[in-house]
Amino acid sequence: LLYTIKFECLTMVMATFVDGQHRTDYGHIVLTTDNVLHSAERVANTPSRNDGISFEDERDIRILGCELIQSSGLLLQLPQVAMATAQILFHRFYLVKSMVIHNYEHLAMAAIFLAAKIEEHPRRIRDIINCFHHIKQVKDKKPPQPMDFTGNMYIKQKNDVIKAERRLLKELGFCVHVKYPHKIIIIILSLMLEQSQNTELVQLSWNFMNDSLRSDVFMKYTPDQIGCACIWLSARIKKICLPENPPWYELLDCTKEQCVAISTTILNTYCLPRPNVHKLERAINAAKEAYELKKSFNEKQRKDLKDIKKLDSANSFSPSVEIVKAKETPPAKPKPSPSNQITEKLTKLAENGSSDYMKNGSKRRHHSPRRRYSPVSPPRRKHDRYKKKQQRSSSDSENNSLVRKHKRRGHKRRVSSSSDASSSSSDDEAVREEARKRRHEEKKKAQLKEKIRQLEKGKEKSKKDKLMRDSASKHKVR
């Protein structure tokens, strides 16, 4: 029995010119079923184990996915060959990818969808999604209702299944060829061992074969070895003697140790408890959170390394620059006192003869020229200003001069009061800033107290829930 398939394809033609002569090189592709077998160490160290999922949880998730494929295949009325193909593809995918990143339900749907097409029994993606939805409702003990095919949930699930199918094909390199021991069991029992009339032995071997699909034996052993192990195990259970001198299984490159190892793996699957879906989902969510934290930490480290490399490259490849000594800054001059500042200003006033400074040394304030025309009010004419001056009589000139003096005095008072107001306003701003800071700190403290109160409340609630669960479990045990 030969299970190696070779396809030589003349699809790629590389035309080259060597020494002026035209030469064509043809590529070839070799597909075999030997490259799907892995060692026990490789099967044990999967990406899911590296991402924080335990061995028991990974095994239960594999069994749960295979059960979903088997039950959906029965509802879709698919042959056993299609269901076996889907389960083997499911196992192969999770040898190279993690269950933390890729959802097992989406992959199970994609596997059965792809396997039905491979075995020439295609089914609509709508029917597959509806079958999985029905199985989930039955497990949760809910009244089965069909999915709304016009809603967002169906559209999202459909897109997820299509993406999972593409990812499955990509990771397996489009090598989806699978060999099964089903035919081998019939051939061995009918031709080699002459036990084809023993229907009980045939049926038991067939059952062991189907149950072995839930374990990882198809990743480590060939279909011939698995078929021999199933016949060997069923013969021992039925107490049927098979030729041992020479051993019949050696004709198919199988040893007794391999038969024992495969049979032990199959029997161990019957001793396992039924997988708890909620527990497995919690384990996957916890591993997902840890993976996200690790990913963000690694990205931060990578970014820091890039920055360091950029700095190193800038230092190593920068052009030679002459080192210039820093200029020595002269010592800072001491600030003169206010009295000295006034005397300096007075001396400058005496030297320059400028009228910009007053007697006390302060600079004279220049008022901006009055705006002649405002944009809102109508423009005043030039001669209107001078009419009032012409109307003034000479008798009232002294009274007007007195009024002008009083106006100047009032202006001086206003200037002094404005300076006092500016100093008081600066003090008020400082007080307001301090009050604002105090209010901000009080707000922060109140927020922290509220957070601490909520955390304590959550802890108390979790303790009460735990006590309630413990009491309920004790009551059930009683």
What confidence score (pLDDT) does residue 293 get?
84
CA distances from 73 to 108, 166, 180 (A): 11, 21, 17
Tens digit of each residue's pLDDT (9 = 90 or more) over 436-450: 888 888 888 888 888
Helices (H), 365-396: 382-391
In 10 A of CB 73, how many CB atoms? 24
Query: What pLDDT shows up at residue 2?
Result: 35
- Name the maximum alpha-carbon separation found in the chain: 154
Among 37-51, 103-117, 257-271, 302-316, the minimum mean pLDDT is found in: 302-316
Residue 53: strand, helix, or coil: coil
Span 40-70, pLDDT tens digits: 888 888 999 888 889 999 999 999 999 999 9
The residue among 367, 37, 379, 393 whose CA lies nearest residue 219 is 37
Burial of 266 (0-12, 13-18, 19+ CB in 10 A): buried
Assess contact for 126 and 177: CB atoms under 8 A. Answer: no
At 162, is the pLDDT very low, low, confident or very high (cuts 50, 70, 90)? very high
C-beta of residue 54 within 8 angstroms of C-beta of residue 290: no
- Dihedral (CA of 276, 92, 218, 191) sign: positive
CA distance 132 to 108: 9
18 strand-pairing partners: 21
The pLDDT, as a whole number, for residue 175 is 84
Q: Is 320 helix (H, G, I), strand (E, B) or coil?
A: coil
- At residue 240, the pLDDT reads 84
Q: How far does Cα 137 stand from its chain's mean position?
A: 29
Angle at the Cα of 7 (from 6 to 12), degrees rounded to 5? 140
Residues 249, 192 contacting (CB under 8 angstroms): no
Concatenate the DSSP letters of all residues of 57-77 into one string. Answer: HHHHHHHHHHHHHHHHHHHTT
Q: Does 130 score more than 70 pLDDT?
A: yes
User: Rounded CA gap, 285 and 64, in Å?
Assistant: 17
Calculate the CA 476 to chain-centre distance: 41
Mean pLDDT to the nearest integer, 331-353: 61
For the ranges 184-188, 304-308, 337-341, 471-475, the lowest mean pLDDT is seen at: 337-341
The terminus-to-terminus CA distance of the chain in angstroms comes to: 60
For residue 204, the surrounding DSSP H or E stretch is helix 199-211
Could you tell me if 5 and 175 are in contact, meaning their C-beta atoms sit under 8 angstroms apart?
no
Model confidence over 407-421: pLDDT tens digits?
555 554 554 555 555
Provide CB contacts within 8 A for 275, sequence distance 6+: 60, 61, 63, 64
User: How far apart are alpha carbons 199 and 454 in whole angstroms?
Assistant: 68
The CA-based dihedral angle spanning residues 307, 312, 318, 321, taken in that order and rounded to the nearest 10 degrees: 110
Per the CB < 8 A criterion, the answer to whether 112 and 83 are in contact is yes
Residues 89-99 have pLDDT tens digits of: 999 999 999 99
Give the single-character DSSP code of 7: E
Tokens standing for residue 29: 């592709």
Written as six digits, the tokens of 460 are 């108390």
Q: Which carries the bigger pLDDT value, residue 455 or residue 353?
A: 455
* Res 60: pLDDT: 92
For residue 25, the surrounding DSSP H or E stretch is strand 21-26
Which residues 6+ apart lie within 8 Å of 81 measured at CB?
Answer: 119, 180, 182
**Is pTM beyond 0.75 here?**
no
Q: What is residue 70's predicted lDDT score, i.e. its pLDDT?
A: 93
- Residue listed under structure tokens 């996957």: 284
Instruction: Give the number of C-alpha atoms closer than 13 A to the C-alpha of residue 311, restricted to the C-beta side.
Output: 6
Question: How would you classify residue 353: left for phi > 0, otherwise alpha for psi between -120 and 50, otherwise beta?
Answer: left
Tell me the average pLDDT across 445-467: 83
- Report the range out of 31-40, 74-83, 140-149, 245-254 with the highest average pLDDT: 74-83
For residue 221, pLDDT over 50 is answered with: yes
Would you state the pLDDT for residue 118?
Answer: 92
Which carries the bigger pLDDT value, residue 421 or residue 205? 205
More confident residue, 51 or 191: 51
Report residue 376's pLDDT band, with 50, 70 and 90 as the boundaries: very low
Range with the lowest mean pLDDT among 10-14, 129-133, 271-275? Answer: 10-14
**Phi, psi dihedral angles at 180 (to 5 degrees):** -120, 150
- Determine the pLDDT at residue 92: 92
Q: What share of the chain is helix, strand, coil (3-state, %, to 5)?
A: 65, 5, 30
Is residue 255's pLDDT more than 80?
Answer: yes
Is the separation of the CB atoms in 48 and 55 below 8 Å? no
- Is the Cα torsion angle 275, 279, 283, 289 positive or negative in sign? positive
Measure CA 190 to chain center.
55
| Cα–Cα distance, 132 to 158 (Å, whole number) | 12
